[in-house]
Amino acid sequence: MRNGDEVDEESTRRVVIYTDGACSGNPGPGGWGVWLRYGEHEKEMYGSEKQTTNNRMELMAAIRALESLKKPLPVLVHTDSSYVRNGITSWVENWKRRGWRTADKKPVKNVDLWQRLDEVASRYDVEWRWVRGHSGDEGNERADKLAQRGRDEAAGR
């Protein structure tokens, strides 16, 4: 919550999600983090992979957040990844039309995760909002710390 017991109005109408990914090296050990809020309820999640990329961890955060939802409520997803936001709001429809190929006919990178995100996002009314990373946004900072925890576990720290 923002101010003690005060519940912000945004999180009473829809699930508010913050996602982030982290990677040491690219590829290297990586982690993803998620902070979800709905009314007075909050949930934190994180995970990791020993050998991955930052983009894959950004995608995994969004996927795992949406997969964790139990009711078909409206959702607001905050991400500091232009790759995720632009991909799911602009690029994915063209990729599907082209058989998961880019405009220059190359296979879409991370197609397995894009297909998974597209499928799970289709179950919800999702608004995708980009937020500047490391700018003091409470939700982004929390998701970042969770992603770092996952990355550090993957790296054996």
| Residue 55 forms part of a structural domain | yes
Is 99 assigned a catalytic role?
Answer: no
SS3 51: strand
The pLDDT tens digits along the chain (157 residues) read 344 444 556 666 899 999 999 999 989 999 999 999 999 999 999 999 999 999 999 999 999 999 999 999 999 999 999 999 999 999 999 999 999 999 999 999 999 999 999 999 999 999 999 998 878 889 999 999 999 999 999 999 8
Is 80 assigned a catalytic role?
Answer: yes
Is 8 assigned a catalytic role?
Answer: no
Considering 30, 49, 80, 150, which one is annotated as catalytic?
80
Tell me the sheet residues that pair with 124.
none
**pTM, to two decimals:** 0.91
Distance (Å, rounded) from C-alpha 77 to C-alpha 11? Answer: 12
Distance (Å, rounded) from C-alpha 79 to C-alpha 59? Answer: 10
| Residue 87 forms part of a structural domain | yes
Domain of 22, CATH number, reads 3.30.420.10
Encoding tokens for residue 132?
């500047």
| Residue 4 forms part of a structural domain | no
Considering 30, 49, 144, 150, which one is annotated as catalytic?
144
Range of the domain at 139: 10-154
| Residue 63 forms part of a structural domain | yes
Considering 58, 78, 87, 150, which one is annotated as catalytic?
58
How many separate domains does the chain show?
A: 1
| Residue 108 forms part of a structural domain | yes
Is 21 assigned a catalytic role?
Answer: yes
CB distance 116 to 3 below 8 Å:
no
